Structure 1
Amino acid sequence: MPRLHRTLPLITASGIALTLYATHTQLHPLKLDSVLPITKKIKPATTTFPPYTPIGWGSNRNLTLIPLQANQGKEHGQETPGLVKRPAPLLHLGRTPLRDLVIAENYAAALDANGDCWLWGKGYDPTGRIGKGLVFAISRSGKLYVFSPDSSLHSSSSSSSTSDSSSWLSYFTSSQTQDIPHVELEASGGLSWGEKWKQVAVGRHHVLALTTKGRLFSMPLSEKGNDFRQLGTREELVSDETPLATSLSRSSSPRPSKDITYRTHLDPIPSLSKIPITHIATASNTSYAITSTSRLLSWGANSLGQTGLGGSNTTPLVPVPIEIVLNKAYPAGTSTNVECLDVKAGGETAFFTVKRTHPGRRGEWVDLLACGSGLMGALGTGSYSSAQGVPGKVKVISGLQEYSEKEKTFKPLGIYQLSVSPSAGSGSGSGTSGMEGEGGGGMGGTHVFAVLDTLRGGEGKEYGRDVFAWGANVEYQLGMGKRTSAAIPTYIPTLGSKLDHNGGWHGNELDVASVDANRLQLHTSPSIPAYSPTGQLLRRRVKCEETIVAGCGSSVVYWKIVE
């Protein structure tokens, strides 16, 4: 089995995709002092944070935010918090911008400026296998790799630390410190000259991969990988399929969900062979694709209406890609043309960013549509419905316009970024993360962050980008300092402060004046140095901007490298 060279950057700025299979096992018995509460706790976050340090809040049950071990905390009179109720600095990542960052259920991953992947959390902990999973990575050269974050599969992990280690580094490693077994995934029939992998999206049991020439491929991750026809094919997978190799596992016959060689080739989707695709996304067992003509396609599981094909379509699955008629989201005669700009999904909920025009009216409008599960307010439409088949408008952040001094006209106010969390135990990923697990510890439910494109104001002045949040909040993941879920997009306070108890809403109206000086806004930064989490200088000057990430039961704001 080949190994990654230590100098090879695993991943480029295109990001990482994760899928977790959290079957909880433990190689060593738990020590009593590792679970007993310690009286002195970590001090709550203040309003001042170290510059360029990632800030996180929400669930830390699996040490995905603050990887401080129990015995280290005992030495310093601290305990590792299970819940980070208010934003706190993630000091283990250092004061540096990153290329990407993902918070899964049992582990987390980050990319430094060189593209090296750093892992931490209980899902990586060398003292025991608490989670199973896969990491998909696109290299700078456009190759697609898969490896496991489970350090029990890494040849050097067994000797790198022990169960008595007092350093958080036992939860934290990069490709520079050890060679990691990996597999390069290839396309059946090969790629054409100059064609490379562009984007990868991971669901609970399947993965989609898109090339630079718009060709879409799919691959199962287990024998359940096509139960809902989420691969876009009619392939029947047998449960007793033998993995291609067993050398990466301690057992003689590893489960497919853990073996990175379960499948090593991706197959093209026949019905899309002549349709160029520009963007892809995955929910738990549902797939989405945007064509070069801005049409939206969906296929796979549909038990909660997550394919968006309408309320009359009650079939539990859609076997082949079908176009979602987005005009159905609007009253008859109110919209002549609707184009899909972006798609994001998490758990059993999907979001479509669309651009529309009106008959007899000048100008364009940008809307956010949602369908699927609305539990804990995940749809953002004000409804807590468990299922919605017709895409509904997220009204608070839809149809907004701003006046352009340069063009002397109104322009649509678009959505700059949309981050949708996976639900613990549901497994999903829109090109960033996907996971499945049991014993999620209350982290179920999807939460969402929408960042509006409000950076540039009139007269060339630059302001921050406004952030809205909604959905599940049982783990304080919305950053409001309380556990109440939100069914409509709501401003969240500046990191280290708080809004009033209504989140700025009074009745059905948003009091902008009351939150203007105290709401979270994301900013850009001039070129700054970039370091590794251990403090090594990697790049002297990189451009970066603040980015917010909805993780599994938690959230992070960090500086993202954009060049």
Structure 2
Amino acid sequence: MYRTRCLSRPAIRLSQAPSCTRNITSKARPRIRAVAAHPYAQRRQQHFVRSIVTVSALWGTASAWQWYHGERLFREVHAEEPPPKEQELTFEQPRRAAHGAEDNRNIISSQHLQVVKSWENPGVYAWGSNAGGVVAPDSDETFIKTPRRISFFDGKLLRDIKLDKNFGAAIDEKGNLLQWGKDYAKDTKAPTETLHGKNLISLAISRDRIIALSASGAVYSIPVSKEEQLSGPKPTSTSWIPFWGSSETISYRIRTPESLGWNERITDIASGLEHALLLSSTGRVYSFASGAQDFPSKGQLGIPGLTFETRPPGPFDIPHEITTLKGFPISRIAAGDYHSLVCDAAGRCFSFGDNSAGQLGFEFNADALHIDAPSLLPTQKLYAGTGLQASVKGVYAGGNTSFITMEANLPKTGPSHPGRVTADTWAFGYGLAGQLGTGRWIHTQSTPVKVPSFSGLFEWDEIANHAVPIRLAYISVGASHAAAVMDNVASVAVAGNARRLTENDTNWGRDILFWGNNEFYQIGSGKRSNVATPTYIQPLDIDAETDRSASAQGLVKQKLEKESHRFQITPKQKVKLKGRSVGFEQRVECGRGITAVYSGA
């Protein structure tokens, strides 16, 4: 339909419409065609058609360009976002049926399985430096990164064990001394019995000698080297048969103090690199040189003015009583590399020896790097302003680091305030490798600082029906790392126990945590980074743990190692072992670059 201009000529009528946009009547059509046939009108019509075609072409081109690039842009934007796929639902695999109550306990509790395995398979797990062939005598590996059993001790109980990077010493269940490692003999591949028939009960090691204590209180100083044992002077053994005696097979010295009173005997020993401490049953303390290489020269003997030149006549390693401690019945002793700690029954702590890193608990003094007389540590200042009455319960030392455990009592003030006991652990000394356990890396810590992981802890005792403080059973301090066994409530119920057990009642042990230097993988985590905050490690028998979890829940070892339960150490309990009833427990021992957990009788 064409649109026309309004014409004023009378020949054209628009049905009386005032606007030219109305439809033209049929009578005017010839005139319209006549007008359209005019040349000027024809040109305008052609121009109009060309305009319509051009606009249509441009619109089509623009639409095509927008569609192409829009789709391409859309594809580029969403190239990394494919449509989500439907995820299949995974269901936990059904737990296998338990074959009896004991099997059910093994399935539902890792701690229960650990306790049972420690009873069924006693022995020694060790890890750390293997440069001296101590951790794995039959292996040439430099490091043992995670706990590994020493096959020689499988199924055996030990009374004690002490480990150095280059030699190891242990006392078997019969009280005989066993030795191994390159410092003992370069060609040794397994522990060898050296001193027998002495009924030994505990050990301490210096740089080059072993200090052993017998059940009767006799003290023996034995050289580490097999060559020295065979070539050195051998004492004459005694016999209950008159005039019957023979020479011992190895060289050693008896270092039992001669000034012991009637019915007094040595009950505990401790040793640093050059010195040893002896504790008697009456609370007296003796010290002597425990190394053949160097005479103690940093005051660690606790005898003011005692040097190699001023020592009394006789052998250089004669025991001397620390007379400064008379009147203070000592209950605990501990020795670091070059320093000593003791505490008495009244809760007082004394320290002496090297203080170059603040390991005595006193401020560092460049003009006096050591203290040669026992000095009272002002522990009550640690609780100043709290109203608590505190006392020292235990002392522990190793390397250049010291620990004391304390109990602070809140006095009873009435029925509504019955009082409460808080157990705390304090550390001081060298801590650059994290061996203080406080979460900090520090060269010198001369003032005792609280270890948060072992301080102010409580748990609910269901038998006593009230909250009790969580104390430390003990701390084993090595040259630069340590482990603490917590005295938390444990359950070691066995078959035949008087208490009736259900199939869901399980055993669990005591918590054990490790911290400090990890240069030789002695922490046991499988990693080499030092640890400044006490941490748990995986169960010792990870293969047994894998089998349990795989059969119970279908888990693989890699997932288990990420999510496994922590290692818990088994407290003492009497169980059946190879047809006999015997009481034993798991114990931890931190040495010089080595850690061991053994079944202790």
State the TM-score, normalizing by the size of structure 2. Answer: 0.64
SS at match of 1:376: coil
- C-alpha deviation, 1:541, in angstroms: 3.4
Q: Output one character per residue of 1:414-459: Cα deviation in whole Å (capped at 9) or x when no partner.
A: 111211112xxxxxxxxxxxxxxxxxxxxxxx11111111243699
Question: CA distance change for structure 1 residues 215 and 409 in 2, over 3 Å: closer, same or farther?
Answer: same
Q: Aligned partners of 1:212, 1:241: CA distance in 2, in Å? A: 26
Letter paired with 1:518: H
Partner of 2:123: 53
Q: Output one character per residue of 1:195-239: Cα deviation in whole Å (capped at 9) or x when no partner.
A: 111111112222111111111111234695442222222234236
Letter paired with 2:154: G
Structure 1: which 5+ runs fail to align?
1-46, 69-78, 158-177, 245-260, 423-445, 500-513, 531-538
- C-alpha deviation, 1:156, in angstroms: 8.5
Q: Output one character per residue of 1:284-333: Cα deviation in whole Å (capped at 9) or x when no partner.
A: 22111111211111111111111113468984122321111223334x32
SS at match of 2:433: helix
Matched, 1:275 2:328: yes
- Specify which of 213, 218, 229 is matched with residue 299 of structure 2: 229
Structure 2: which 5+ runs fail to align?
1-113, 189-205, 233-247, 494-498, 500-505, 546-560
SS at match of 1:450: strand
Partner of 2:179: 119
Q: Output one character per residue of 1:326-356: Cα deviation in whole Å (capped at 9) or x when no partner.
A: 23334x3225211111111010000111111
- Specify which of 366, 373, 377 is matched with residue 423 of structure 2: 366
Alignment of 1:373-452 (within 5 A): 373-422=430-479, 446-452=480-486
Partner of 1:520: 567
Letter paired with 1:286: H
Question: CA distance change for structure 1 residues 193 and 515 in 2, over 3 Å: closer, same or farther?
Answer: farther
- Specify which of 191, 195, 198 is matched with residue 264 of structure 2: 195
Deviates more, 1:364-373 or 1:396-405: 396-405
Matched, 1:63 2:113: no
Partner of 1:205: 274
- C-alpha deviation, 1:85, in angstroms: 1.2
Alignment of 1:121-136 (within 5 A): 121-125=181-185, 133-136=208-211
- Specify which of 534, 539, 551 is matched with residue 591 of structure 2: 551
Q: Aligned partners of 2:591, 2:221: CA distance in 1, in Å? A: 21
**Equivalent residues of 2:361, 2:447 under 8 A apart:** yes
Q: Aligned partners of 1:412, 1:391: CA distance in 2, in Å? A: 21
Matched, 1:474 2:519: yes
How many correspondences in the alignment?
A: 420
**Equivalent residues of 1:60, 1:81 under 8 A apart:** yes
Letter paired with 1:304: A
**Equivalent residues of 1:223, 1:239 under 8 A apart:** no
SS at match of 2:381: helix
Question: CA distance change for structure 1 residues 223 and 123 in 2, over 3 Å: closer, same or farther?
Answer: closer
Letter paired with 2:149: P
Greater RCO, 1 or 2 (C-alpha within 8 Å, sep 6+): 1
**Equivalent residues of 1:126, 1:152 under 8 A apart:** no
Matched, 1:338 2:390: yes
Letter paired with 1:95: G
Deviates more, 1:102-111 or 1:514-523: 514-523
SS at match of 1:467: strand
Q: Aligned partners of 1:240, 1:413: CA distance in 2, in Å? A: 47
Q: Aligned partners of 1:516, 1:55: CA distance in 2, in Å? A: 22
SS at match of 1:377: coil
Q: Aligned partners of 2:181, 2:439: CA distance in 1, in Å? A: 35
- C-alpha deviation, 1:109, in angstroms: 0.9
Q: Aligned partners of 2:310, 2:363: CA distance in 1, in Å? A: 37
- Greater percentage in helix: 2
- C-alpha deviation, 1:154, in angstroms: 2.9
State the TM-score, normalizing by the size of structure 1. Answer: 0.68
Question: CA distance change for structure 1 residues 307 and 212 in 2, over 3 Å: closer, same or farther?
Answer: same
Q: Aligned partners of 2:256, 2:393: CA distance in 1, in Å? A: 29
Question: CA distance change for structure 1 residues 310 and 354 in 2, over 3 Å: closer, same or farther?
Answer: farther
Q: Output one character per residue of 1:11-58: Cα deviation in whole Å (capped at 9) or x when no partner.
A: xxxxxxxxxxxxxxxxxxxxxxxxxxxxxxxxxxxx999821211111
Letter paired with 2:277: L
Q: Note the aligned Cα RMSD (angstroms).
A: 3.2
Letter paired with 1:85: K
Q: Aligned partners of 1:233, 1:241: CA distance in 2, in Å? A: 10
Matched, 1:304 2:357: yes
